[in-house]
Chains A and B, each alone.
Chain A
Amino acid sequence: MVYFILKRLVQSVFVMLAVAFLAFSLFRFVGDPISQMTGVETSVEDQERLREELGLNDPFILQFARFTSDMVQGDFGFSYRTRQPVAEMIADRIPATLELGVVALLISLIVGIPTGVYTALRPRGIATQAILMTTLVGVSIPTFVIGIMLIFIFGVQLGWLPTFGRGGTVQIGGWESSLFTVEGWRALLLPAITLGVYQLTLTMRLVRAEMMEVMRTDYIRFAIARGVPMNKLHYRHALSNTMVPVITIIGLQFGGVIAFSIVTESVFQWPGMGLLFLESIRFVDIPVMGVYLVVIAFFFVLVNLIVDLLYVAIDPRLRVRDVQ
């Protein structure tokens, strides 16, 4: 058990190092940092002195080590565009993206798991066919089109919900939250649904496939033969065994949620990390791009680490295998 956790920790550190290396290469090789920091009138000698002072002439490995240790200490450098510390810029945007992502993920699970179970238990029903067809169309409609459609229906035509921004936010110890005001929730609803729809179809399809797989196994057949009541059979015997894959989904979907939040934030002008990333691409603001990458990778690794630990907690078989 301890060995397993340690192994996963070491793997996570390696992934983070790989991503940090990518970010560092971006920073070092895409454009010249010196020409970004100085104006046209800076003399060549001054530029060279600055280069020496900043250690840009040092060996590559040394530079990378310095870069990594700075990052670990929370020093992310300065933006080329705004000249502000990148750490501050990103930290300001994290709450908006995380709240959007978590609510979207919750929507996808709360709707996706029950429909997945239903369609697996009644594979030939008319409702099932209708749901499956709808999800196929749902997968094919790009996220930004879903966003535009929601804005058009609920924002423009009906005028029920706001179509951009975060509405009212409350400061809680430096965390700017929109979860505590009615206005905030109203503003959150459309973006969260937009972001959740695609994940919802994934959740549903995976739960359905897993559930159908489990229903074919011998122990379920035996339970049927033994006369276990159908309700108990479905929810106690079958569903609890599909929970491991469902947890995997949450881990895998997190990446998708973050990536698609770039699109959603752009459609709804939601002031999160994704919007910042888009702006930084447009202005080739390499430090912000690099740090965004590292922060996203960090969340991704963290979530997947937690998911792995949850596996062991849920599925006793994994513990046994590890001992052997």
Chain B
Amino acid sequence: MIAFLKRYEGLWLFVHSPAAIIAAIVATLIILGAVFAPWLALVNPYDLASFSLFDGLLPPVWQDGANPKYLLGTDDQGRDMISSILYGARLSLVIGMSALAIAAVLGVGLGLAAGYYGGRFDAIVMRIADVQLALPAILTALLIDGIARGVLPPSVQQDLRVAVLTLAIALSLWVNFARTARASTFVQMNKEYVQAAIMMGQHPVRVMFVHILPNILGPLLVIMTVDLASAILLEATLSFLGIGLPADSPSLGTLIRIGMQFLLSGEWWILWIPTLFLVALVVSINILGDFLRDVFNPRLR
């Protein structure tokens, strides 16, 4: 009943928050566009045969000299901007979400175990978390990337770029999950249902994941939304710095890096349209995260 009321209340708040509704629409549209990119996009930006240099540097359709075939114009290679952005957003979201999934599994697992067992295990996990927290996420990700460059043989480096990038982002984000899961688990440990489950001799893994986990999902969901935004930003930043993805498989960050070359010339759309997409995506995810936090933490209302 309480769970139902809470859900109902969340829905009620959602309908009455125009910012959250707009954010949800924008995020859904971009995500749908990314998912269906192969069907929606005019050209495949990875396939050199599908676009032509003769169509290069065309402006968006509302400016003079545009080709109505390319609604938002083309870049210097003749790639349709919309297609590049859809594929770029696809890559950004895939990396962001897989990194988030790895971080969540690792962080929640460690946090639950730390909260459940306490004692020395808890102390060790939390010390590692402290060190990790002292190193800012960008620095961690850059460092892991640099190590991968040194350790991996050059032949496989290109193929493993996406994996390395995902892992680098995941390892810089797990701390939030671990700390939140641990704090919430501590609270749950004193409740009778957990004590009863332990007393009945249930396996610790079962107690943690079947009994405790469902009851601490709320705060974890908030972290998840906020960290999805961080993961996408991190990927974009790394790609922008030229450490992330190469130019032939561009994510949103790489597109912005390419667009920087046109900052001083008149082709504004090559830089600003991907930028606008990235900011719109991250802003709407952050607004949704803020909204969720308010729903799960009534004290702030």
List chain A positions with a Cβ less than 8 A from chain B: 15, 18, 26, 30-31, 133, 136-137, 139-145, 148, 151-152, 156, 255-256, 258-260, 262-263, 266, 277-278, 280-282, 284, 286, 289, 293, 296-297, 300
Q: Mark B238-278, 1 if CB is under 8 A from A, else 0.
A: 00111100000000000010001001100000010001001
A148, B275: Cβ atoms under 8 Å?
Answer: yes
Do A142 and B237 touch across chains, with their CB atoms under 8 A apart? yes
Q: Bound state CA distance, A148 and B271, in angstroms?
A: 10
CB-based contact A277/B142 at 8 Å: yes
Q: A136-B290, A255-B136 in contact; A145/B279 too (CB < 8 A)?
A: yes
For the complex, give the distance between the alpha carbons of A282 and B145 in Å: 10
Q: A18-B131, A30-B151, A156-B264 known; A259 and B290 CB under 8 Å?
A: no
Partner of B236, one of A15, A142, A152, A258: A142
Number of CB contacts from chain A to chain B under 8 A: 96
CA of A133 to CA of B271 in the docked complex: distance in angstroms? 25
Sample of 30 A–B contacts (CB below 8 Å):
A15-B131, A30-B147, A30-B150, A31-B150, A133-B19, A136-B290, A139-B286, A140-B282, A140-B286, A141-B279, A142-B278, A142-B282, A145-B279, A148-B256, A148-B260, A156-B263, A255-B135, A255-B136, A258-B136, A258-B139, A259-B136, A260-B138, A262-B142, A263-B240, A278-B241, A281-B142, A281-B146, A284-B149, A284-B150, A297-B134
Decide yes or no whether B216 CB sits under 8 A from chain A. no
Shortest beta-carbon distance from B155 to chain A in Å: 15
Does B137 touch A at the CB level, under 8 Å? yes
B interface residue numbers (CB < 8 A to A):
19, 131, 134-139, 142-143, 145-147, 149-151, 229, 233, 236-237, 240-243, 256, 260, 263-264, 271, 275, 278-279, 282-283, 285-287, 290
Once the chains bind, are B240 and A144 in contact (CB under 8 Å)?
yes
Closest beta carbon of chain A to B246's beta carbon, Å: 13
Q: Which residues of A contact B233 (CB under 8 A)?
A: 140, 142
A256 near B136 with CB under 8 A, answer yes
Q: Shortest distance in angstroms between A266's beta carbon and chain B's nearest beta carbon?
A: 6
B92 to chain A, nearest CB (A): 12
Taking CB as reference atom, which chain B residue is nearest A32?
B150
Closest to B238 in A: A263
Q: Determine the residue in chain B with the shortest Cβ distance to A137.
A: B283
**Contact of A281 with B243 at beta-carbon distance under 8 Å, contacts A26-B147, A142-B237, A263-B237 already known:** yes
Q: Which of B147, B229, B243, B256 has the most CB of A within 10 A?
A: B147
The answer, among B242, B264, B271, B278, for a CB contact under 8 Å with A282, is B242
Name which of B241, B256, B283 has the most chain A CB atoms within 10 A of its CB. Answer: B241
Question: Which of A136, A259, A293 is B137 in contact with, Cβ under 8 Å?
Answer: A259
Told that A144-B240, A144-B256 touch, could you supply 10 new A-B pairs with CB distance under 8 A? A30-B151, A136-B290, A142-B237, A144-B237, A145-B275, A145-B279, A148-B256, A259-B139, A281-B142, A296-B139
In Å, the complex CA distance between A148 and B261 comes to 11
Report B244 CB to chain A, min CB distance, Å: 12
Q: Which 3 A-B pairs have the closest CB atoms?
A: A259-B136, A30-B150, A281-B146
Chain A residue contacts of B147, Cβ below 8 A: 26, 30
Most chain A beta carbons < 10 A, residue from B139, B275, B279, B283: B139
A300 and B131 alpha carbons, distance in the complex (Å): 11
Complex-state Cα separation, A136 to B287, whole angstroms: 7
Q: Which residue of A lies closest to B286 (CB)?
A: A140
Chain B residues with CB under 8 Å of A266's CB are: 241
A262 touching B241 in the complex, CB below 8 Å, given contacts A136-B283, A136-B286, A141-B279:
yes
Give B239 Cβ to nearest chain A Cβ, in Å.
Answer: 10
Given A15-B131, A148-B271, A281-B243, do A140 and B229 touch, yes or no (CB 8 Å)?
yes
- Take A145-B278, A148-B263, A256-B136 as given contacts and tell me if A293 and B143 are in contact as well, using a CB distance cutoff of 8 Å: yes
Q: How far is the CA of A318 from the CA of B198 in the complex (A)?
A: 39
Contacts of A258 in B (CB 8 A): 136, 139
Known contacts A144-B237, A144-B240, A284 near B146 by CB under 8 Å: yes
Docked Cα-Cα span, A70 to B264, in Å, equals 47
Q: Which A residues lie within 8 Å of B146 (CB)? A: 280-281, 284, 289
The answer to whether A300 and B134 have CB atoms under 8 Å apart is: yes
Asked if residues A286 and B150 are in contact (CB atoms below 8 Å), the reply is yes
Cβ contacts under 8 Å, B143 to chain A: 289, 293
Nearest CB on B from A190, distance (A): 14
Which residues on A sit within 8 Å (CB–CB) of B263?
Answer: 148, 151-152, 156
- A144 and chain B: residue at smallest CB distance: B240
**Closest residue on chain A to residue B259 by CB atoms:** A148
A15 engages B136 (CB within 8 Å): no
Q: In the assembled complex, which residues on chain A have CB atoms less than 8 Å from the CB atom of B229?
A: 140
